[in-house]
Amino acid sequence: MKFLKKLAFLFYLIVLFPFLASAASPSSISVNIAPENPAPNENTEIILSSYSYNLDSVLISWSVDGKAVSSGIGKKSFSATAPEAGKQTTISASISLPDGTIQKTIILRPAVMLLLWQGTDSYVPPFYRGKAMPGPGSEIKVVGMPEIKSGSQTVNPRNMVYTWKEDYTNMPAASGYGKNFFTYVNDYLDDINNINVVASTVDQRYFSERSIDIGTTEPKILFYKDDSNLGTLWEKTISNGHQIPGSEIIRAMPYFISPKDIRIPSLVFAWYINNFRVDVPIYNKNVLPVQAGAGVSGSSSIRLEISNMDKIFESATKQINVQF
């Protein structure tokens, strides 16, 4: 009896085990989708690959939502158009291998993602309608606004899970449920940072992904005229060749420099007239009163240098020539 059991076990090892071990496994076929999370009606490429089998020599058949659409030897790639938002498309690939047939199923559930960003500590003048651009070493906030539909209902962005990456590195502390924004400080050595986010529903059925490259902007200075009755004339800047009739007040406004409050002492304003340093009150350091002497005419150069004592790589300079 023991002999028969040993004989049966040897038969299993010699005959059946190699057959079972060589059976085709779905894990031996990899599926790559580009883009991984397509937008509605976006063209999508599906590519099959394997380290175990030569897919160029086997029959591969493709179907969309149960309808056969394409087949052929070595047909390991397939192009499809993602459906509209809130709908899904099921794509199946049947790979006829020598060890058996493998089925791979891909479900396309498109979604839309919008990324908004700005420098949170970047200064812009009052009533400025543009975006606060980040300078070197600025803090930047990125907000993800996904639009994912489940059937006819739009999923609330606050009820999604967000996975953030900065320069292709996962940021687990900034990721999680309801975390639809990401804040970081750019490195003055990097001109551009790549920010990526994937928003998914809690059940992991729907995804939306978006990447964006965010660059830095060098701070700049613009000069404006202060009018005693109308205040600062924001509609027109003072440029080279500006005529000063007797006396005038020049107001300097830095753009995209940090911190957001330009009154703090770490921002140093250095005014020069004809290369001579001019002292101005520290509480009004971005304002320069200018007055020509009686009977004096000609031109002078006015220069302002702004430096940040806390950020040695952040500075701005502006120089113009004015006529008296």
Average pLDDT over residues 250-267: 90
Query: Percent helix, strand and coil across the chain, each rounded to 5?
Result: 10, 55, 35
Bridge partner residues of 47 (DSSP): 32, 77
Average pLDDT on 285-300 reads: 84
Average pLDDT, the chain: 87
| Long-range pairs, 57-64, Cβ under 8 A, ≥24 | 58/95, 58/96, 58/97, 58/98, 59/95, 59/96, 60/93, 60/94, 60/95, 60/96, 61/93, 61/94, 61/96, 62/91, 62/92, 62/93, 62/94, 63/91, 63/92, 63/94, 64/89, 64/90, 64/91, 64/92
In a 13 Å sphere around the CA of 152, the CA atoms on its Cβ side amount to 0
pLDDT at 24: 66
Q: pLDDT tens digit string along 66-83?
A: 999 999 999 999 999 998
The reported pLDDT for the residue numbered 21 is 43
For the chain, give the percent of residues with pLDDT over 70: 92
Using CA atoms, how far apart are residues 181 and 239, in angstroms rounded to an integer?
Answer: 40
Q: How far apart (Å, rounded) are the C-alpha atoms in residues 119 and 114?
A: 17
Two tokens, residue 118: 């700005």
pLDDT higher than 90, residue 274? yes
Q: For residues 168-173, give the mean pLDDT.
A: 96
Distance CA 219, CA 85 (A): 41
Q: Can you tell me which residue has the tokens 């010699």?
A: 14
Least confident of 59-73, 145-159, 264-278: 145-159
How many other C-beta atoms can be found within 10 angstroms of the C-beta atom of residue 105? 11
Span 162-182, mean pLDDT?
96
Whether pTM exceeds 0.75: no
pLDDT of 22 reads: 47
pLDDT at position 1: 53
Q: What is the CA radius of gyration of the chain?
A: 33
Proportion of the chain above pLDDT 90, given as a percent: 52
Task: Tokens for 19, please give them.
Answer: 């057959």
Spatial neighbors of 133 by CB under 8 A, at least 6 apart, are: 118, 119, 122, 216, 217, 255, 256
Asked if residue 137 lies in contact with residue 311, where contact means CB atoms within 8 angstroms, the answer is yes
Quick one: tokens of 294? Answer: 């009686």
Bigger pLDDT: 100 vs 245: 100
Least Cα distance to 303 among 321, 280, 282 occurs for: 321
Cβ atoms of 244 and 301 closer than 8 Å:
no
- 8 Å CB contact between 308 and 267: yes
Question: Is a pLDDT exceeding 70 seen at residue 300?
Answer: yes
- What local confidence, expressed as pLDDT, does residue 263 receive? 87
Q: Please, which pLDDT band fits residue 212 given cuts at 50, 70 and 90? A: very high
The confidence score (pLDDT) of residue 23 equals 57
> pLDDT tens across 10-67, in order?
444 444 444 444 456 778 899 999 988 888 888 999 999 998 899 999 999 999 999 9
